[in-house]
Amino acid sequence: MKYVYYIVLVGTAFLASCTQSYPYLVKNDNCNCKEYTYRDVRHRFAITCEARYKVTDRIETTISLNFENNSSDTLDLRLASFNVKSENVHYEYNDKFLSLPYVVVVPGDSYEVALHGKDTSSDEHPWYRIAGEQITVTIQRLVIGNINLDPIVMTMVPVNPKFSSALSFQKILIAGRK
């Protein structure tokens, strides 16, 4: 019976290491979601966010933002900027505001932008930085019609397959004792 537990742990760890990218979970509005949609009901627009990362000798993250305009006014990104703040990963532009593309989203349309970041330092054990990692994305200076919108903040934590493998093994051991 002990061998079965070991095989499940090794198999789970092996499958986790074969996967090339892993999701972040957005922690806004009591959500623990791989995909999160911020909805501004008053101004009738939405931003859908999804993030993934991969680990080689360094960590590389991609955050996708989809701006959807359901209002009768134009959603203006031309003055907007974003900030990505990482707790553990040293991205080149960590905690610095950068401009979003010079775009307006007309009523009934949407626009998607992908933000890519790569760790500026390589590490023999980059998984150590994923443990306890948290990123915060702030989008500011969005304008709809002629209304300046409040900043939008989304907080994300990475799914760590190395940690979930250990948890799966613990659950199997506990189930095996019953």
pTM of the model: 0.79
Query: Can you read off the two tokens belonging to residue 124?
Result: 């023999």
Which residues on neighbouring strands pair with residue 149, listed in sequence order? none
Does residue 153 form part of some domain?
Answer: yes
Does residue 175 form part of some domain?
Answer: no
* Distance separating alpha carbons of residues 47 and 100, to the nearest angstrom: 14
CATH number at residue 125: 2.60.40.10
pLDDT at 122: 83
**Domain of 54, in residue numbers:** 21-159
Does residue 171 form part of some domain?
Answer: no
Does residue 69 form part of some domain?
Answer: yes
Contact 3/139 with Cβ under 8 angstroms?
A: no
Neighbouring residues of 26: CB distance < 8 A, sequence distance ≥ 6:
32, 33, 34, 35, 36, 49, 51, 154, 155, 156
Does residue 149 form part of some domain?
Answer: yes
Q: Dmax over Cα atoms in the chain, in whole Å? A: 68
Does residue 48 form part of some domain?
Answer: yes
The tens-digit pLDDT sequence of the chain (178 residues) is 433 333 333 333 444 445 489 999 999 988 889 999 999 999 999 999 999 999 988 899 999 999 999 999 999 999 999 999 999 999 999 999 999 999 999 999 999 999 999 999 887 888 888 888 999 999 999 999 999 999 999 999 999 887 765 444 444 444 444 4
Contact 120/97 with Cβ under 8 angstroms?
A: no
Handedness of CA 94, 97, 102, 103 (dihedral sign): positive
Question: Number of folded domains in the chain?
Answer: 1
Does residue 16 form part of some domain?
Answer: no
- Beta-strand ranges (E) seen in 56-109 are 59-69, 75-76, 81-86, 98-99, 104-105
Does residue 1 form part of some domain?
Answer: no
Contact 152/26 with Cβ under 8 angstroms?
A: no
Contact 135/86 with Cβ under 8 angstroms?
A: yes
Contact 91/136 with Cβ under 8 angstroms?
A: no
